[in-house]
Structure 1
Amino acid sequence: MQQAIAVLDSGVGGLTVVKEVMRQLPFEKILYFGDTARTPYGPRDAEEVISFTREIVDYLIQYQPKMIVIACNTATAVAMEDIRYRVNVPVVGVINPGARAAVGRTKTGVVGVIGTEGTIKSGAYDTALKRLSSRIEVVSRACPSFVPLVEDGNFRSIETFRTVSEALSPLRDPTMDCLILGCTHYPFLADCISEAMGSEVVLINSAEETARDISTILQENNEMSDVEEVPVHQFFCSGDPRKFQDIAQAWLGEQIRLTPVVWQVPHIGA
């Protein structure tokens, strides 16, 4: 019960999931790995993403986590089934929770999906959405310029808004009422994305639904933490530790200031 929930991502994007897990499950210990040295994963081929994901999971498994959360849409799309086969703990991804949230919110049945090249190419969201409802029409677009902006901590500049607006202009459709942020980096750009798409388009961030899935699985397995005290979280990154820590502290805000955190740079991905 006191074992950690391991969360991995290609960089800082998975912190959006961590923030929601901290909010919903404040007594659960988090073990986070951001592969900032090798981000982004989106342009890489599937075999390379699978290899990187295996490497990170092999590293994290030494800490004996009770669950692994692949908080990267690209890795979820191409590597999740492989990881499920390799480990004996539950493995949770972010695609099905995001699709479920969109189907629950759309009124027109037209759902947009933005993500990395790898995620969009995989068709994973199309499959997940159509599995939930055959009436859904999916409009997808890869936005490869977004992840570098987030990894640089450039969330709200004029340059960022211009980049976001240009990338999303082909998606503007009066019948679309939901847009899935199909990369966990993208919620960092939510203000710019919302301004570009208009207030009538609901942005779907899978973090909240993913945290609910985590809670449900832990309850079903009787693995919820039974100690009501603040845990010590561990955050790993494979790249520049100062940049990673600055972004993590800015994004997690009060939640991370109230909890003890160990920051570490492992010998992986360098």
Structure 2
Amino acid sequence: MSIALMTAAFRSPIQSTHKFVLVALCDNANDQGECYPSVSMLCEKTSLSDRSVQKSLAYLEEKQFIQRRERHGRSNYYYIADPRTWFTPEQYSPPNDVHPTPERGSPPPPNVVHPTPERGSPITINEPSLEPSVNQSGRKVRGKTILPKDWILTKKLGDWALEEFPHWKADDVRRIADKFRDHWVANGKQMKDWEATFRNWCRNENRPWTANARASPAKQLSAKDQARQAVSEALTGNGGGQHGRIIDI
């Protein structure tokens, strides 16, 4: 359950039935806005009919409040959009109350000093926030994400793969990247670092290449080397027959 998303959902400027379904989704979502409740669960939470819930989900998806992805044999996967996209800047920003400039000659405002607490007074403890900490860029710390459907191989990762595995060609790296994207998009699993996951994927893909190199056939002997080998076998008795044996006199 994300308190921030639920608070924004209650403030959302949409019709009450759609808002109720959005609140129910936020109640199931993690701090990254990801959830996968079934339609029956949403009906139970909102006391709405199956048809009403389906209509609200279609409306929320059309208005880009949520993104929905179907999973065969399982409940749909929902991603709740950033609440800042739900409002206009005026609706999202709090009112800016500007105090009037004091008249000239007005006395300075009183300096109210809070009294020192008595000894033995209870200590006030501020509980930690339920919301995840964020860095300066606004991205959530320690969060896991799923691989986006439009993931593409970056030049940085492509150069790393060609340098790490010199026997690969550019087409090999692109084929491996396509295989990597299709696997993880279909899997839907969350990871903290997708670049590290891709590097490990390349190392696993390289194992068959190394095994094939070890299992390659021996180098074909030249005609000259074959003749030398035949003479050696004849002299040592490995040629077979009476002509290949040495007779002591």
Alignment TM-score > 0.5, same fold: no
TM-score (normalised: structure 2): 0.25
Higher strand share: 1
TM-score (normalised: structure 1): 0.23
Give the structure with higher Rg (CA): 2
